Structure 1
Amino acid sequence: MDDALLTETNPLPAAFDERLAAQLGFLIEVDRLKTVLRQSPLAAARRRENDAEHSWHLALMVILLAEYADEPIDVGRTMRLVVVHDLVEIYAGDTPLYDQEGALTQAAREQEAAGRLFGLLPDDQAGLLRELWDEFEARRTPEARFAKAMDRLQPMLLNWMARGGTWRTPGVTALDVRTRTSSVGEASATLGEVAKSIIDEGERQGWIRPAP
């Protein structure tokens, strides 16, 4: 990706206050999220979803499914977590769930991207977004655990509608799917059972390779 910021190609008016210019510049830069393609196929169209669509979908899932969280959660904070969680992929790129090679460098790439991207904001807001991103990654709070559960459940729904989707990735088996989506049940016993049923039926339908 070009190292130049989007606003360097068409600078904002010079009259803007420094803080406001930084905020608007960041908002323009994160428009790049709409160009980061994920592996998950859309249910409503014959194309892959992008990161911005994914994040929006997760925010809506939080609103509707928060009642199934095993621990009380702050819905607003959880929504902020899912909106922020993939922003680093603007610079780090998406790492598919079953990409073992990409996973080896994922943490380093995303840490570097977080510093670069959030550093575009005024210090207080840079710290706020970095705190949210770190919280999501660490999963130490009920909100972060539920946000991660939504991040795993949403692609499962899309894969189900695609009759396999990324489940058909070469070498991936039902055991891999169960292992990598276990965070759903860690945040919600109810939704964990939903995930289990989806995987079991996907395996029965032949959309997921049987576990060895």
Structure 2
Amino acid sequence: MILEKEIKFILALDALKNVNRRNFNHDDSRRENTAEHSWQIVVLAQILLPYAKNYEQIDLLRVIKMLSIHDVVEIEAGDTFIFDETKMVGKYDRELQAAKNIFGILDEPLGSEFLNLWIEFEAEETPDAIFACAVDRIMPFILNGNSKATSWTEASVTSQQVENIVGKAVKRASEAMGEAFDILLEKAIEEGKLIKA
């Protein structure tokens, strides 16, 4: 059948709607799912692009592709909370195998294109990947900072952890995003949403 693999792939992606993340929606009514997160960061990237360092060198379409597919691995590997150091061990290998399996549904060259975009995102070395990673990291930070920060408080996340993991990625990508991060981080500490450390 024509488009058989494409349809099989897009139906496989439907499982992202059932992968719950540690972060809560802005209204704190429930945890967000990975499909919702992916949609939100694709929109956020378009908004934040003018603030990126050397934004004229960034290919927004490539960034959108990265952001739309980088969490597909969670269908098999699950969501790994970025502040859970024990689950970070072996994360790349688990997710790489999942990426190969899921993107392998597609014919070439699309399967390899998606896999290579995923690998590029994870390496965080190109301007596109640096910006994409910053957008991916700042979105949960924005949600926690503007809600009850339930995912932070239930895991006893410290300000130093947030600075090391989120702040470094954000500041590497954008001075303006870095300034906003610092302001929001201080506010979160003052409001008791993060343990000062």
TM-score band (shorter)?
A: over 0.9
Q: CA deviation at 1:111?
A: 1.1
Q: CA deviation at 1:25?
A: 0.5
**Which residue is 1:187 aligned to?**
173
Q: CA deviation at 1:76?
A: 1.3
Q: 1:51 aligns with which of 29, 34, 54?
A: 34
Q: Which amino acid aligns with 1:39?
A: R
TM-score for both structures, normalised by structure 1: 0.88
Q: CA deviation at 1:167?
A: 2.1
**Which residue is 1:145 aligned to?**
130
**Which residue is 2:117 aligned to?**
132
Q: Which amino acid aligns with 1:146?
A: F
Offset from partner CA, 1:153-178 (integer Å, 9 cap, x none)? 10011101223232214342111111
- Decide whether the 8 Å contact of 1:62 with 1:150 is kept in 2: yes
- Decide whether the 8 Å contact of 1:98 with 1:169 is kept in 2: no
Q: Which amino acid aligns with 2:48?
A: L
- Decide whether the 8 Å contact of 1:158 with 1:165 is kept in 2: no
**Which residue is 2:8 aligned to?**
25
Offset from partner CA, 1:68-117 (integer Å, 9 cap, x none)? 00122111111111001101111010000111111012111101101111
Runs (4+) off by over 3 Å: none
Q: 2:22 aligns with which of 13, 18, 39?
A: 39
Task: After TM superposition, list the pairs within 5 Å mapping 1:62-211 onto structure 2.
Answer: 62-72=45-55, 73-181=58-166, 182-211=168-197
Distance in 2 (CA, whole Å) between partners of 1:164 and 1:178 is: 16
Identity over aligned pairs, percent = 35
- Decide whether the 8 Å contact of 2:156 with 2:194 is kept in 1: no
Name stretches of at least 5 consecutive residues in structure 1 with no aligned partner.
Answer: 1-15
Count of equivalent residues: 194
Q: Which amino acid aligns with 1:105?
A: G
- Decide whether the 8 Å contact of 2:137 with 2:170 is kept in 1: yes
Name stretches of at least 5 consecutive residues in structure 2 with no aligned partner.
Answer: none
**Larger relative contact order (C-alpha < 8 A, sep ≥ 6)?**
2
**Which residue is 2:43 aligned to?**
60
Distance in 1 (CA, whole Å) between partners of 2:10 and 2:174 is: 33
